[in-house]
Amino acid sequence: MKKFCLSVLILVVTISGVFAKPIWGFIYYQDGTVKKVLLRVPWVEIRDRPDFHKLQKKISYQHNFRSSSLYPWEATGFLFVDEIDTIRMVSFTPMLGFEDPFFAKLENEGRLMLFKYFLPADPEPVYLIQDRNSVLMVDKINFKNFIEDYAQTCPQYFEGLQVGQNINEELSLFISNYNQNCVYE
Note the pLDDT tens digit of each residue in 92-126. 887 767 778 899 999 999 888 999 998 877 777 88
- Looking at the chain, list the stretches that DSSP marks H as alpha helix, in order from N- to C-terminal side: 2-17, 52-55, 143-152, 155-158, 167-181
Task: Assign 10 a pLDDT band (cuts: 50, 70, 90).
Answer: low
Mean pLDDT of the chain: 83
Contact 126, 104 (CB under 8 A): no
Q: What is the pLDDT of residues 133-174, one digit of tens each?
A: 788 888 877 888 888 888 888 878 777 777 777 777 788 888
Specify which of 14-23, 72-81, 88-97 reaches the highest per-range mean pLDDT: 72-81
Residues 6+ apart with CB under 8 A from 46: none
DSSP letter at 183 equals P
CA–CA distances in Å: residue 77 to residues 88, 101, 134, 143, 162:
7, 12, 19, 26, 35
pLDDT the model gives residue 11: 53
Q: Which comes out higher in pLDDT, residue 2 or 171?
A: 171
pLDDT the model gives residue 75: 94
- In the Cβ-directed half-sphere of 8, how many Cα atoms lie within 13 Å? 5
Contact 22, 81 (CB under 8 A): no
